[in-house]
Structure 1
Amino acid sequence: MTTLIAKTITKACVPIIILFSISLLLAGHNYPGGGFIGGVMFTSAISLLYIVFGLRYMDSLYRYQWEKWFAVGLLISTLTGIGAMAFRYSFLRSTYLTVSLPLLGDIKLLSTTFFDIGVYLVVTGSLLFVFKTMGEDE
């Protein structure tokens, strides 16, 4: 049984941790971070929810199938690498596309961003699948 203080602090901290994991994911090309550490931070936020509120309560709120996150992430990462080969470049060659948006100006869309999103989903899906599987009662 967890205290009211732990539950209240967890409810306040989890959204902040998730936003931080997304900022790590998006800043990974120019600054420290990326898909791996962003996925680990997201996993820590969801794991904190599992620890404080319990597995049964979390499953009653939502029933994610984390192995599907793993599969989708692996597909995205693989297609990003093979996509460069379709244009006769080496595997995982990075490129960018500049898009002009009215309020934001010019934005560069990097192909490595899609690779990092795939890694983010692979790390999140695999770790949370393992944690949830190990925590289930038989």
Structure 2
Amino acid sequence: MTTLITKTITKICIPLVILFSISLLLAGHNNPGGGFIGGVMFASVISLTYVVFGLKYIKSFFNPSWDKWFGFGLLLSSLTAFGAIVYGHNFFRSLIKFVEIPLYGEIELVSAALFDIGVYFVVIGTLLYIFKNVGEDE
């Protein structure tokens, strides 16, 4: 049984931590952060939600297949790593491209960011799959 205060604080924390997690993910290839720590942050807030509201309540409206998240992330990371070989480069070579966006300026697109996104989904899928299966009563 959790209190009203705990439930209210959790509802406030969910969007903030998810945004922070995405911020860590997107900053990862140039600054501290990346797919792993961003995925851990996302998994922690969903885990907090499971603990505070109960697994049965959450599953009534939000019951994703976390193993599919893991599979998607692993596929994306693998394709990014092997993609360089297709273009005649070494395994895991990152491509950097600069794109001009009107009214914003120049942005840097890096293929390593796709790898980070894949790692993000692998970490989320793995941690929440384990957490959900350990927490279920059979």
Q: Tell me the residue number matched to 1:59.
A: 59
Q: Tell me the residue number matched to 1:5.
A: 5
C-alpha separation in 1, matches of 2:105 and 2:20: 24
Q: So what's the TM-score if we normalise by structure 2? A: 0.97
- 2:94 aligned with 1:94, yes or no? yes
Q: So what's the TM-score if we normalise by structure 1? A: 0.97
C-alpha separation in 2, matches of 1:90 and 1:2: 53
Q: Deviations over 1:63-94 (max 9, x none)?
A: 10000000000000000011101111111101
Q: Tell me the residue number matched to 1:37.
A: 37
Aligned residues: 138
Runs ≥4 in structure 1, deviation > 2 angstroms?
none
Query: Tell me, which stretches of 5 or more residues in structure 2 are unaligned?
Result: none
C-alpha separation in 1, matches of 2:2 and 2:103: 46
Shift of 1:9: 0.3
What is the aligned-residue identity percentage? 62
C-alpha separation in 2, matches of 1:58 and 1:104: 40
Instruction: Give the counterpart letter for 2:31 in structure 1.
Output: Y
Instruction: Give the counterpart letter for 1:100 in structure 2.
Output: E
Query: Tell me, which stretches of 5 or more residues in structure 1 are unaligned?
Result: none
C-alpha separation in 2, matches of 1:134 and 1:104: 47
